[in-house]
Amino acid sequence: MSQKFLETEGPGWVEQGIISAEQLQQLRALYPEQPRAIGLLPLLGSLLVGLSALSLIAANWQALPEWLRLAVLIGALVAAYAASEYFLRHGQRSLGTGLAGLGLILFGAGIVLTSQMYQLVGYDVTGLLAWVVAGVLLTYLYRSRFLLLLAVAIGALAQGYSYAELSTYSYATLVLTAAGLGYYWWRRPDSLCGAVLACGLLWQAGLLIGYLHIKITWFFVPAMLVYAAGDWQPNRPAARALQAPPLVAGFLFMLGLAMFGEAGSYTDMLRPHLAAYLGALLLVFGLSVAGKRARGHFSSATDWLLLLPGFYFPGGLPLAIAALVVLYAYSGAVLWRGNYEQSADRINLGTALFVLTTMVAYFKLTWEFLDKSLFFLLGGVLLLGLSWYLRRRAVRTLPPSDQR
C-alpha cells in the first residue's frame, strides 16, 4: 500500500467511519514514504560517470601497456564493489545494488578485454561461464531482483555467443540459469523476475534445439517444463508471470502454422518421432497437472489445449485447419474460464485471442474463393458481430461493480 494511496483514500475512510483518525495515522506510520525517485537518480548518475570513464579509457586502450590495462580493469572492478559495499552500509540499497551490478558488468568486460589482449577469445566458453557463475552468486549474496535480471541477461548473452560464434552449446550455462536462478526465484517469487527468467530459459531452450538439429517442435518440451514449474509455485501472480512466455510461444507457433502451414515445404521440420515426443510431452503434462491439483487451480489445465499436436496432420489445408482447431479450443477455454471465474482480464484476453483466431481462420479459408470486396465486407461484418456478441456476454457475466 502506498503512502499516496493512503493520502487520497484515507480521509474518505475516516468520514465513512470505516477507520478512526488514529488508525489512519497508525497506517501511515506503517507505510513510510519511500524516496524511490531520488534513489534512482544517483544510480543513473553513477552509470553516466562510469560510461564517460569507460569511453575515455577505450579511446586510449591500445596505447596503454598490457599491465596497466589489466590494472585499470581490476581497479575499476574492485572500486565498483567497494563503493557498493559503502552505500549498502549506509542504507542506500538501490545505489549499492546498482554499483554491484556495475561491478558484475565490469567483470564481464574484463574477461572479454583480457582475452582479446592475449588473443584467447574464441577458444572456449570458460570466460563467459565464469561471468554467469558470478552473476548467479551475486544474486544470492545481494538477494537482489536487479541482479537476478542481470544474471538472466548474462546467461542469455553467453549462450547466444556460444551458439553463434563458437558453434557449441554451454549446458553449464543452462543448468546455472535453470537451477541457480530458478531456485532463487522459487524461494523469492516475483512477477517481473518470473517473466524475464522464463524468457531467458526459452531463449536457451530454442538455441539448444538449434544446436542439436532436432525438430523444432521439441522446443515445447522444455518450454512446458518451465510452465509446469509454475504450477508448483504457491505464489500465483509470480507463477502466472513465469507461465506466460511459454503460452505466448505456443500460441504464436500455432498461429504461424495456421497462417503458413499450407505451404507444406517445412512441415518436415515439425514432426518428431511420435512416441518419443508424445511420451516426453505427456510426462511434462503429468507433472503440470499434479502441480495444478496440489495447488488447487485445476481449471488452468485448459492451457494445455495449445499443445495438442495438430502438426502431425499432413501439410496443406488439413494442417492449417488442425492448427485453427487448437487455437479455437484454447481461446474458447480462456473465455470459458473468464466467465467461470468472473475475471474481466481473462475475458478480455479470451476475446482478443478469439477474434484474432477468427481473423486468421476467415482469411485462410475464404481468401481463395471469394471476390475481394465481398471478402472484406463479410470479414468486417463477422468481426463486428463477433466482438459485439462477446462484449455483451462479458458485460452480462461480470458483476456490475467491475463495469466501471
Partner 1 sequence: MPGFFDPRTPLLPKPHRRGLQLAVAAQVAFLLLVAVAGYAVGHFGRTIALRTMPVDPRDLLYGDYVVLNFTISQLDVKQWRGAQPPRVHQPVYVELRPTPDGSYAAVAIYPENPPHIPASHAVLRGWVQSNWRTALRIRYGLERYYVPEGTGARLERRTGSRPLLVRVNIAPWGQSRITEVAER
Query: Using the rule CB under 8 A, is 153 a contact of partner 1?
Result: no
Hey, which residues between 76 and 95 contact partner 1 (CB under 8 A)? Answer: 77-78, 81, 85, 88-89, 91, 93-94
Query: Using the rule CB under 8 A, is 159 a contact of partner 1?
Result: no
What are the DSSP calls for 310-349, one per residue? GGGSPTTHHHHHHHHHHHHHHHHHHHHHHHHHT-HHHHHH
Count of residues engaged in binding partner 1, rule: CB under 8 A? 51
N-terminal to C-terminal alpha carbon distance within the chain = 22
Q: Could you tell me the smallest distance in angstroms from the CB atom of residue 27 to partner 1? A: 16
Question: How far, in Å, CA of 159 to CA of 163, rounded?
Answer: 6
Which one among 20, 25, 52, 168 touches partner 1, defined by CB under 8 A?
A: 168
Which among 36, 19, 27 has a CA at the least distance from the CA of 3? 27
Query: Using the rule CB under 8 A, is 358 a contact of partner 1?
Result: no
Query: Using the rule CB under 8 A, is 62 a contact of partner 1?
Result: yes
What are the DSSP calls for 247-304, one per residue? HHHHHHHHHHHHHHGGG-SSGGGT---HHHHHHHHHHHHHHHHHHHHHHT-GGGGGGG
Question: How far, in Å, CA of 100 to CA of 72, rounded?
Answer: 17
Query: Using the rule CB under 8 A, is 68 a contact of partner 1?
Result: no
Which one among 1, 21, 48, 120 touches partner 1, defined by CB under 8 A?
A: 120
Q: Could you tell me the smallest distance in angstroms from the CB atom of residue 41 to partner 1? A: 13
DSSP structure class, residue 91: T
Query: Using the rule CB under 8 A, is 72 a contact of partner 1?
Result: no
Contact 346, 385 (CB under 8 A): no
Query: Using the rule CB under 8 A, is 121 a contact of partner 1?
Result: yes
Q: Quick one: 66 or 402, whose CB is closer to partner 1?
A: 66
Distant-in-sequence, close-in-space partners of 381: CB < 8 Å, separation ≥ 6? none
Query: Using the rule CB under 8 A, is 36 a contact of partner 1?
Result: yes
- The amino acid occupying position 254 is M
Q: Could you tell me the smallest distance in angstroms from the CB atom of residue 293 to partner 1? A: 32
Hey, which residues between 201 and 240 contact partner 1 (CB under 8 A)? Answer: none
Q: Could you tell me the smallest distance in angstroms from the CB atom of residue 274 to partner 1? A: 26
Question: How far, in Å, CA of 73 to CA of 79, rounded?
Answer: 10
Q: Could you tell me the smallest distance in angstroms from the CB atom of residue 177 to partner 1? A: 18
Query: Using the rule CB under 8 A, is 65 a contact of partner 1?
Result: no
Question: How far, in Å, CA of 238 to CA of 372, rounded?
Answer: 46
Question: How far, in Å, CA of 329 to CA of 125, rounded?
Answer: 44
Q: Quick one: 34 or 299, whose CB is closer to partner 1?
A: 34
Which one among 27, 117, 301, 349 touches partner 1, defined by CB under 8 A?
A: 117
Which among 378, 264, 372 has a CA at the least distance from the CA of 314? 264
Q: Could you tell me the smallest distance in angstroms from the CB atom of residue 225 to partner 1? A: 24
Q: Could you tell me the smallest distance in angstroms from the CB atom of residue 129 to partner 1? A: 10
Query: Using the rule CB under 8 A, is 167 a contact of partner 1?
Result: yes
Binding mask 126-145 for partner 1 (x = CB under 8 A): -x--x---x--xx--xxxxx
> Exposure of 376 by Cβ count < 10 A (0-12 exposed, 13-18 middle, 19+ buried)?
exposed
Which residue ranges make up the site for partner 1 (CB under 8 A)?
2, 34, 36, 39, 61-62, 66, 70, 73-74, 77-78, 81, 85, 88-89, 91, 93-94, 97-98, 103, 107, 110-111, 114-124, 127, 130, 134, 137-138, 141-146, 166-168, 192
